[in-house]
Structure 1
Amino acid sequence: MALPPWPYPLWIAHRGAGKLAPENTLAAFRLGAAHGYRMYECDAKLSADGVVFLLHDTTLERTSNGHGVAGERTWTELSRLDAGGWHSRAFAGEPPATLASVARHCQANRHWLNIEIKPTPGAELETGRVVAAEAQRLWVHQPDRLPLLTSFRPESLLGAKQAAPDLPRGLLLDTLWSGWEAQAADLQVQALICNQALWDRPLVRLARAQGWRMLAYTVNDEWAAERLIDLGLDGIITDRVDLFAPVS
């Protein structure tokens, strides 16, 4: 099967440069850019008042000085948090990032973004809809750099498909659960983003037969990267922006 056009770089900085800087902050994106990366992955969810902001966890404790469920806080409350001090003193006072602020960074540098839709439990469909609609609005003037929307949650990808059907979508897989192939086909995804250990030649053949692009997370060892490149993957998501030099 002929594959659809794929504009994205091979190397993708995980959560910005989320080990060397506080993940999902503008500081992490800037550091990824400083290491030559032209595409980043981030996690997006909704505040209580519907603002799309970046955070991986459901709760605030691990990556900020906040407490409780992030999606139950308004953006005004969230914006006052320190999202950098947990990482190191050098980043103390780094604020949380909105999707809008990250979009400005990417567009100013003509970089790409992989937005993982990371809903608060119970808000899967609505989060997918709002994140996709916001992404479509933010990138309307840069159609050659459209973000890739991904999620582990099929409901969120359904919401994204309903709100912005023209934005590319990808299904994230940590295991090959029963029915995943039919779900991916129903959602009309352009890509599979799998735990690196899942990729082997039979899965590559299946993905190619379906016309799906192939990405892997989170690849931090040279031997693993070499194996995946040999399999012909289209994208490698890594924390080690200091180890892997991205190339066109």
Structure 2
Amino acid sequence: MSAWPMPFWVAHRGAGKLAPENTLAAFREGARHGWHAFECDVKLSADGVPFLLHDATLQRTTPERGIAGERSWAELARIDAGAWHSRAYAGEPIPSLDALARYVLANRFALNIEIKPTPGTERHTGEVVGREVRRLWAGAGSLPLFSSFQPEALAGAQASAPEVPRGLLLDKLTDGWLDTALALGCQAVITNYALMDRALVERLHGAGLKALVYTVNDPAAAQWLIGNGVDGIISDAVDRFSPAA
């Protein structure tokens, strides 16, 4: 597996809430605030094209309804993913992973790709995203980080792109979570920040894993987590935190 690719501070879904999440406009806004590492959500279109969207359905961040993964990429590429946020972003399209990779690589940014499968497509999504990342990052100096709440998605990515680092996402500490992370060859566990404390950081470090947290927007919480030894923070607050700090 490749070296750990992420700096400490990671901008959530591009620029958190300052621009429409998971769009190229959001990445540009995050970069404008000085951030150089980003997180995004990736799933598959009906015809197997990886694209950026958090929800399984379209209605929260577009004027369309229904399951996004049941649409072809040709349909998805025409959908307005910006007007829901503000008029300034009306017409901003849903980006493909291919388009995002070109932007990230051109600017030498780090990227955390959360594999966010349409329910029922977990392993297949991981396999396809793994293959695409191998193709898109071929010859690049560093690779992105894969993460997912779905172990089957990480297993798929492990099978198709074993060299790409992996992190298991957790919103609760279920039985066997550490065994799962180790079985998947993960380099990190990324938890809801409310779960993380010094004891958990030390347990992860003792297992040879990095301890990351999401989504931290409060400066006091960030300082407490830093004091307790976390290895990375994912945040919406690109206008309140300095990634150079």
TM-score by length of 2: 0.97
Alignment-derived partner of residue 243 in structure 1: 240
Deviation by residue 1:114-158 (Cα, 9 ceiling, x = unmatched):
00000000000000101111111111121x321000000000000
Please show how residues 128-143 of structure 1 align to structure 2 within 5 Å. 128-142=126-140
How many residues matched? 244
Determine which of 184, 208, 211 is the counterpart of 1:211.
Answer: 208
Alignment-derived partner of residue 151 in structure 2: 154
Alignment-derived partner of residue 98 in structure 2: 100
Alignment-derived partner of residue 43 in structure 2: 45
Alignment-derived partner of residue 21 in structure 1: 19
Unaligned runs of 5+ in 2: none
Alignment-derived partner of residue 113 in structure 1: 111
Alignment-derived partner of residue 64 in structure 2: 66
State the one-letter code of the partner of 1:206: R
Return the alpha-carbon distance in structure 2 between the equivalents of residues 31 and 25 of structure 1: 10
Please show how residues 224-239 of structure 1 align to structure 2 within 5 Å. 224-239=221-236
Return the alpha-carbon distance in structure 2 between the equivalents of residues 165 and 19 of structure 1: 33
State the one-letter code of the partner of 1:173: L
Alignment-derived partner of residue 223 in structure 1: 220
| Cα RMSD after superposing both structures | 1.1
Deviation at 1:228, TM superposition (A): 1.0
Cα pair 1:110 1:145 within 8 Å, conserved: no
Unaligned runs of 5+ in 1: none
Return the alpha-carbon distance in structure 2 between the equivalents of residues 118 and 8 of structure 1: 19
Aligned-partner SS, 1:114 = strand
Deviation at 1:208, TM superposition (A): 0.5
**Inter-CA distance 204–110: structure 2 relative to 1 (3 Å threshold):** same
Deviation by residue 1:84-139 (Cα, 9 ceiling, x = unmatched):
00000000000001111111111111011000000000000000101111111111
Return the alpha-carbon distance in structure 2 between the equivalents of residues 73 and 172 of structure 1: 27
Return the alpha-carbon distance in structure 1 between the equivalents of residues 12 and 114 of structure 2: 11
Alignment-derived partner of residue 80 in structure 1: 78
Deviation at 1:7, TM superposition (A): 3.9
Cα pair 1:111 1:145 within 8 Å, conserved: no
Identity of aligned pairs, percent? 60
TM-score by length of 1: 0.96
State the one-letter code of the partner of 1:115: I
Aligned-partner SS, 1:214 = strand
